[in-house]
Amino acid sequence: MSVNISKVEVFSFENEKITFDHFRGDVLLIVNVASKCGFTKQYQGLQNLQDKYESQGFRVLGFPCNDFGNQEPGELEEIKQFCSISYGANFQLFQKVHGKGKTTEPFTTLNKVIPAGDIEWNFEKFLIDRKGEAIARFKSSVEPESLEMTNAIEKLLH
């Protein structure tokens, strides 16, 4: 099941309310991120994807989440600095969100993407097409630069 997220409201890093309509025309990869997780090394792969495909209209959007093992306890500025220094990651980060329990956007809506259900851990990924349709969901174990992920991204970019 695809879900359109164009009208979903989120809060930017600067705490400004925006909708995903702001990104219409771009292919997006939305990820719940954490700095102290076994999957944290995926920051590098996420940045590599953005570097490789950004000129074609691709963006990675990171949503820090502390719901899974308390692995994102820091403040936003600390998180941004950690990402930049440790992994050279400069993709866009947003305000912290919840991915389970009292889930907040964008995951309240994205959790309807098949397989539907709550996020299970950090670094779950959702691929969004240029029209704002969430069309694919990738579990934490799927590496950003895997063939499965890059094929899905390239299909949407062409």
In the three-class reduction of DSSP (H, G, I as helix; E, B as strand; rest coil), residue 53 is classed as helix
User: With contact defined as beta carbons under 8 Å apart, do 62 and 47 qualify?
Assistant: no
* 65 part of the active site: no
CB atoms within 10 A of CB 139: 12
Kindly state the helix (H) or strand (E) to which residue 47 belongs, with its residue range: helix 42-53
Select which of 3, 27, 33, 37 is catalytic: 37
Q: Which region holds residue 29: left if phi is over 0, alpha if psi is between -120 and 50, else beta?
A: beta
CA 155 to chain centre: 18
CA angle 105, 111, 114 (to 5 degrees): 150
Distances in Å between the Cα of 54 and the Cα atoms of 7, 36, 115, 158 are 23, 27, 28, 13
Q: Which residues are catalytic?
A: 37
